[in-house]
Amino acid sequence: MTKEILTRIISTCKKILKIISKRKPYVITALIIVIILLTFGYFSGLSHYTKYRQLDNLSDNVTSGVPSKMASAIVTSNGNAVSKQSLEPLNRLFAKNNRTISQIKTIIEHESSYSNFQIVRSGKYWGLYPKYKVLLNKRNIIIETNINNPIFEIAGKSVSAKKIGNEYYLKKSIPGLYYVRISNKSGSYKKTRAVTVPVSGNCDETEVDVTMRHTPAL
């Protein structure tokens, strides 16, 4: 509803009220007061819930480093809330590189379409004003290794991987810093690599080999 349409409705209501005001003046006065209050409330809401203001708040919350605030600003691809635990890798990325914070703020506030942070609509405030949230796009973690049939773990949990050539594509993950453990079936060889799912674009390939041990590939 635009300001022009709302003004026309109010004007029409006033004309109707003027016609019947002689019979029920107190009721009409009350109705006028209600209309004025509703009009004031509507335009106050327009000012409070502007997209610019929401994006500013979202950028502050996402980069706050406080799990509860971060979770309040982020949604999954199906619109559901994210868990605080799932945002730990993003917090680790902040700790590793402070410049990431200002980069993400700029991306959110300017709605950059070339990043892994996407602004999406997520319901409405009071059924009237669009509500916005941040969706984190996921990217594959890519590992190249000469270990035969490697086993991959992230945060102590085994993860599946799809092999394409010499590369292994691990599950898609949100932006953040991950510690990926690679081992062989016997467990005689284990190595951990820090892998970053970037703020923008795809992951760089991470190499893990065993040739430095002067032994055949396992």
For 77-109, how does the pLDDT look when each residue is reduced to its tens digit (9 = 90+)?
A: 888 889 999 999 999 999 988 899 999 999 999
For residue 135, the model assigns a pLDDT of: 95
For residue 147, tell me if it sits in a domain. yes
Contacts for 91 with CB less than 8 Å, ≥ 6 apart: 65, 67, 70, 176
Are 111 and 165 in a shared domain? no
Number of domains in the chain: 3
Are 13 and 58 in a shared domain? no
Are 27 and 62 in a shared domain? no
Are 143 and 204 in a shared domain? yes
Are 70 and 118 in a shared domain? yes
For residue 86, tell me if it sits in a domain. yes
For residue 89, tell me if it sits in a domain. yes
Contact in structure between 58 and 131 (CB atoms under 8 Å): no
Are 59 and 129 in a shared domain? yes
Are 151 and 195 in a shared domain? yes
For residue 218, tell me if it sits in a domain. no
Are 7 and 67 in a shared domain? no
The mean pLDDT of the chain is 82
- Of 86, 106, 136, the one marking the end of a domain is 136
pLDDT in tens, 138-150: 999 999 998 888 9
Concatenated DSSP letters for 18-76? Answer: HHHTTT-HHHHHHHHHHHHHHHHHHHHHHHHT-HHHHHHHHHHHHTS--HHHHHHHEE-
Find residue 170's DSSP bridge partners: 161
For residue 55, the model assigns a pLDDT of: 94
Contact in structure between 163 and 174 (CB atoms under 8 Å): no
For residue 40, the model assigns a pLDDT of: 57
Are 71 and 87 in a shared domain? yes
Per-position pLDDT tens, the chain of length 218? 455 655 665 676 666 666 655 556 666 666 666 676 666 556 655 556 688 899 999 999 999 999 999 999 999 888 888 999 999 999 999 998 889 999 999 999 998 878 999 999 988 876 777 999 999 999 999 999 988 889 999 998 999 999 998 899 999 999 999 999 999 888 788 899 999 999 998 888 888 876 544 444 43
For residue 213, the model assigns a pLDDT of: 45
For residue 218, the model assigns a pLDDT of: 38
Entry pTM: 0.75
Are 194 and 148 in a shared domain? yes
| Cα–Cα distance, 203 to 93 (Å, whole number) | 14
For residue 217, the model assigns a pLDDT of: 42
- Of 94, 119, 136, the one marking the end of a domain is 136
β-strand pairing of 161-164 with 167-173: antiparallel
Contact in structure between 208 and 194 (CB atoms under 8 Å): no
By residue range, what is the domain housing residue 73? 51-136
